[in-house]
Amino acid sequence: MELLTGIAATSGALNSQRTRLDIIAQNIANARTTRGPDGGPYQRRIVSFESELLRSTDSANGANSPGLATVRVSGVTNDPTPGQRVNDPGHPDADAQGMVTLPNVNLAFEMVDLITASRAYEANLNVAKNSRQMAMRTLEIGK
Amino acid sequence: MIAPVANSLNYQLASKLLDASVMRHEAIATNIANAETPGFRRIDIASDFTRALRSQFDGIRPPAVSNIAAINPHLAEDPNVRTVRPDGNSVEIETELMAMSRNRVDHEFLTEIVSRHIKQLKTAITGRIT
């Protein structure tokens, strides 16, 4: 048992939420990027999470007893929905009909995601702070 | 002579509950960490721990210390919680944060009890109030 209880789960979650914030920042930054390294418009990226078992809590309770689980990023995938097409013949990335495909980034979605991610990050920070204070209390037993 | 303090009912109960509060904190940390994992079910101390402890206090006589020592907490999925979210996750972050604050107060209280027992022993040994 570690001294700071639950810190493994919390640190995994902090890392994952951090990655999510980075990806959201990337999406917002590229909201108008019409030409990426592959030549096409930027595609919105989505972070997905999965839980990872740290240790099962009780071997006596059989295999189906739940264990302590942290969270990790299971993958960053491209959002396949097509982007908006606008008519802008003067644009350097316009096709023969004068249409430009914009990235499929919706700023409203990204902002909502940003708020959710930072709230989750804060909640996990709170847990880390609490773990620390609990450990300090435990060390003061008998003083 | 140390054994009577370490084997007293209150000391044993406090250390047992202290174990449980540390375990509950781990469970809450897991729940908050997985607040956005699809399909994750909230975990908590299994309810048979409190039930087993309570059943020891049914009679008039206090329970035997050995009975208390045999009861151990373990984690289980919370069967009472409903999921209202489309991803099947049953964690509510506000509930978890409240549970964490409450658990912390419990933990402080229990460390205080354990501390007092040890201080009492120290006073008995040295004859001075520390």
pLDDT tens-digit readout, A56-75: 655 454 444 567 888 889 99
Structure tokens at B128: 């001075």
Å from B12 to nearest chain A CA? 15
Residue type, B3: A
- Say how far apart CA A127 and CA B100 lie, in whole Å: 8
Taking an 8 Å cut-off on Cβ atoms, the answer to whether B93 and A123 are in contact is yes
3-state secondary structure string, B8-24?
A: CHHHHHHHHHHHHHHHH
Taking an 8 Å cut-off on Cβ atoms, the answer to whether A119 and B41 are in contact is no
Q: B5 falls in which pLDDT band (50, 70, 90)?
A: confident
Q: Closest residue of B to A69, CA-based?
A: B30
Of B75, B118, B119, the CB nearest to A66: B75
Chain segment A95-134, per-residue pLDDT in tens: 889 899 999 999 999 999 999 999 999 999 999 999 999 9
Looking at residue A63, its pLDDT comes to 45
- ∠ at Cα B12 (B8, B18), nearest 5°? 145
Instruction: Answer for the pair A128, B33: CB distance below 8 angstroms, yes or no.
Output: no
Å from B60 to nearest chain A CA? 32
Looking at residue A1, its pLDDT comes to 56
SS3 B104: helix
Q: Does B67 touch chain A (CB under 8 A)?
A: no
- ∠ at Cα B32 (B30, B38), nearest 5°? 85
Q: pTM for this structure?
A: 0.84
- ∠ at Cα B101 (B95, B105), nearest 5°? 140
SS3 B19: helix
Give the closest residue to A131 by CA, choosing from B119, B95, B33: B33
- Tell me the helix, strand and coil percentages in chain A, rounded to 5: 40, 20, 40
Of A65, A124, A133, the CB nearest to B33: A124
Residue B124 CA: distances (Å) to CA of B15, B24, B109: 21, 34, 23
The residue whose two tokens read 């264990």 is: A67
Phi, psi of A86 (to 5 degrees): -120, 155
Phi, psi of A80 (to 5 degrees): -80, -5
CA A22, chain centre distance (Å): 8
